[in-house]
Amino acid sequence: MPPELAPALDRIRWVGPKVGIDGLPRFEIAYDEAGQVTFFREHLGAEPDMTPALLDTVEDIPEAAYCVPFLDARLQHAFVRALAERGCLTIAGTYGKAVRDDTPTVLATAALADLFFCNADEAGVLFGGVDGAATRPGALRFVTLGPAGATVFQGDHRTDLPGVPANALDPTGAGDTFCGTTVARVLAGDHPAEATRRATAAAAQMVEHLGPSALWATAPAPEPPTDGRARPDDDAVDRLARRISTLAGTGGLRSFDFTGDLFPRVGDPHAAGWFTAATLQQFGFWHERDGRYDHPMIATIGGHQRKGSDYLWAHYLRWAATEPGSLDPAHQAAVTDAGWSAAAADDGGGDPYPASGTYAALARDYGRSLHALGTTADELVAAAAAQDRPLHALLRLLDHVGGYREDPLRKKAALLGVILRQRPEGFLPPAEGDDAPPIVDYHVQRTSLRTGIVTVEDDDLRRRLAARVVLPAADEAAVRRAAWTAVAALAERSGRDMGTVDWFLFQMRHRCPEMTEPRCAECPALGACHQRTGLFQPVHRT
């Protein structure tokens, strides 16, 4: 083994037929001033002897497999197909020469693979550009854009991620580093967009070193850049975590089982599907005026005055009862704005939601994506429950479902997972290492700011938060990501599961509400809270 590659021997477990050093395929690569690539001295080695039949000699086919872009694109396609036939999650990339020399074969591989990687130039040849690179339902496609970042497609849903600044020394391996990091993070449980953020940081680090030297580092992988305007406060997190750890089993710290008048009866055969259809609408229950937060959504339904989240549960419970099948994918896919508003009407006949068109559009996207996947919500939940880590599996499946897939922090997906786990039916059985990520809605953001587990360093942002000004997405993201990190640390340091921690934080809305003075003396966080009661959550619909 060449000495530059010798460290790989300590990191790779070889499975399958062995070849001598001369049997390793290789090539040399050069870049011009514009970054264009030239391959030369290509050596096929033992590649012509590789056939998919060799997979039959492997005792344990992995659950996921990456097929390298062979010098012969047809061979890569044959391996991807063979791996798919053996039940593998298939992953493939490509390179410029293969794309230009055998476009139809590479296109066929891209259509077949569950995860496919290419760069912007290759996307231009294959799909007519990045805009045409959407993929089939249930698949992921990643297009790297050099210093500009990357684009990820979850089926036809697109997310553009910025690049990470780097002082490029050697661009060789940037694409492979991006691909490997993305795959590792997706398989570890990250949302595809979050995996892409981490991968761009890793690729930026890679190009700052000669050859593969960055790959041999033993330090943790680089983190993506953070917005320093808001940050978790470790001391405040420690204080609140200690308080949470002392409250187990008390009224201040009991997880909620999502039963009662607002929810389907225990044992209802359609309950899992009902929760899946309803939970994706759990956001944005407030009205604005003159560019500022004005008041929360409160309306009367069924003779009871309900606020925000509770109104939604009551609305969906009535909708399912009065129009059987209305929450099924086909019906949700066809719901009109007027139809959604009619189903949402309060006792006076009006639609109380502040952004009904948005809710209706999400319902349609939800129904259409499930239909395109050829499944139902009940089947989706059952498939997740059959896995070793049911909640982890559900989150990955929801990454392909409209209404859930859009949020890289998975607020609604995590909430659904906690609901399905904590319901008496136990739709998602508990498993080791299978907790939910933080569920950071606007109530939790307000709690994070007021307790001090998140500190806002930027004076202008802090002023606008206190003034309840409607914020752009980037400002909300600064606070929300800091809150996500702080809440994750609360769960870890308190030793409590995320469902319990989330219910503790969510219930604080009763004592630290939007429109009236906080009742700090009644709050279980008293003594572990900074009481920054003048701060307000970011006013932005997430």
In order, the DSSP letters of 306-347 are EEHHHHHHHHHHHHHHHSTTTTSHHHHHH--HHHHHHHH--T
- Examine the pLDDT at 24 and tell me if it is beyond 90: no
Residue 116 has pLDDT above 90, yes or no: yes
Could you state, in order of their start, the residue ranges of all structural domains in the chain? 3-216, 227-257+424-542
CA–CA distances in Å: residue 186 to residues 140, 191, 222, 482: 10, 6, 16, 22
Q: What is the pLDDT of residue 193?
A: 98
| pLDDT range class, residue 19, cuts 50, 70, 90 | confident
How many residues are there in the chain? 542
Closest CA to 176 of 226, 130, 118, 225: 118
pLDDT, tens digit, for every residue of 525-542? 999 999 999 999 999 987
**pLDDT of residue 35 exceeding 80:** no
Q: Is 510 exposed, middle or buried (0-12, 13-18, 19+ CB in 10 A)?
A: exposed
Q: Is the dihedral of CA 135, 137, 140, 145 positive or negative?
A: positive
* pLDDT reported for residue 25: 82
299 membership: H or E segment, kind and range: strand 298-301
CA distances from 435 to 365, 431, 448, 470 (A): 27, 8, 21, 33
Choice between 510 and 387, residue whose per-residue pLDDT is larger: 387
**Residue 140: in which H helix or E strand, if any?**
strand 140-144
Sequence-distant (≥ 6) Cβ neighbours of residue 281 within 8 angstroms: 312, 316, 359, 362, 363, 403
- Lowest-pLDDT range of 14-18, 79-83, 248-252: 248-252
Q: What pLDDT, in 10s, does the model give residues 347-374?
A: 999 999 999 999 999 999 999 999 999 9
Report the pLDDT averaged over residues 65-88: 95
Q: Is the model's pLDDT at 140 over the cut of 80? A: yes
- The mean pLDDT of the chain is 94
Please give the pLDDT value at position 42: 79
Which tokens in the block code for residue 270?
Answer: 């359609």
Quick one: average pLDDT of 396-400?
99
* pLDDT (average), residues 465-482: 97
Evaluate whether 391 touches 291 at the Cβ level (below 8 Å): no
The pLDDT of residue 442 is above 70: yes
pLDDT tops 80 at residue 253:
no
Q: What confidence score (pLDDT) does residue 32 get?
A: 75
Res 80: pLDDT: 98
Per-residue pLDDT band at 59 (split at 50, 70, 90): confident
Residue 11 has what pLDDT?
84
Compute CA distances 483 → 452, 496, 534, whole Å. Answer: 10, 17, 17
Span 181-197, mean pLDDT?
97
Listed in sequence order, the residues at least 6 apart from 216 whose beta carbon sits closer than 8 Å to its beta carbon are 7
**What pLDDT is attached to residue 186?**
98
Determine which of 208-222, 307-321, 369-383 has the lowest per-residue pLDDT on average.
208-222
Which residue, 255, 246, 249, is CA-closest to 528? 246
- Name the pLDDT band for 101 (thresholds 50, 70, 90): very high
Query: Which of 21-35, 176-190, 262-276, 316-330 is predicted least confidently?
Result: 21-35
The Cβ of residue 434 has, within 10 Å, a number of other Cβ atoms equal to: 20
Task: Give exposure, 270-290, as e/b (b: 16+ Cβ within 10 Å).
Answer: bbbbbbbbbbbbbbbbbeeee
Report pLDDT for 542. 78
Phi and psi dihedrals of 358, rounded to 5? Answer: -65, -45
Residue 17 banded pLDDT, cuts 50, 70, 90: confident
Q: Cα(533)–Cα(186) distance, rounded to whole angstroms?
A: 38
Higher-confidence position of 4 and 267: 267
Give the pLDDT confidence score for residue 252 in this predicted structure.
Answer: 54
Q: How many other C-beta atoms lie within 10 A of the C-beta of residue 241?
A: 21
- Interval 286-296 mean pLDDT: 97
Distances in whole angstroms, Cα of residue 313 to Cα of each of 262, 336, 441, 500: 6, 20, 16, 20
Residue 65 bridge partners (DSSP): 90
As a whole number, mean pLDDT of residues 43-59 equals 88
The sign of the torsion formed by the CA atoms of 207, 208, 209, 214 equals negative
Mean pLDDT across the stretch 475-493?
97
| Cα separations in angstroms, 234 against 171, 248, 288 | 37, 22, 33
Which is more confidently placed, 135 or 33? 135
In this structure, of 161-170, 300-309, 398-407, the range with the lowest mean pLDDT score is 161-170
What residue type is 60 in one-letter code? D
At the topology level, CATH places domain 3-216 in UDP-N-acetylmuramoyl-L-alanine:D-glutamate ligase (3.40.1190)
CA distances from 490 to 101, 255, 438, 484, 498 (A): 54, 15, 10, 10, 9
Nearest one of 336, 282, 345 to 541, comparing CA atoms: 282
pLDDT band at 92, cuts 50/70/90? very high
Percentage of the chain beyond pLDDT 70 is: 98
Question: DSSP letter string over 7-76?
Answer: GGGGT----S----GGGS-EEEEEE-TT--EEEEEEE-TTGGG--GGGGGG-SS--SEEEEP--SSHHHH
- Alpha helices for 53-159 (secondary structure H): 73-85, 96-101, 103-112, 120-127
Which residues lie across from 300 on neighbouring strands?
A: 305
Euclidean distance between CA atoms 416 and 384, whole angstroms: 12
Quick one: tokens of 353?
């939601």
The architecture that CATH gives domain 227-257+424-542 is Orthogonal Bundle (1.10)
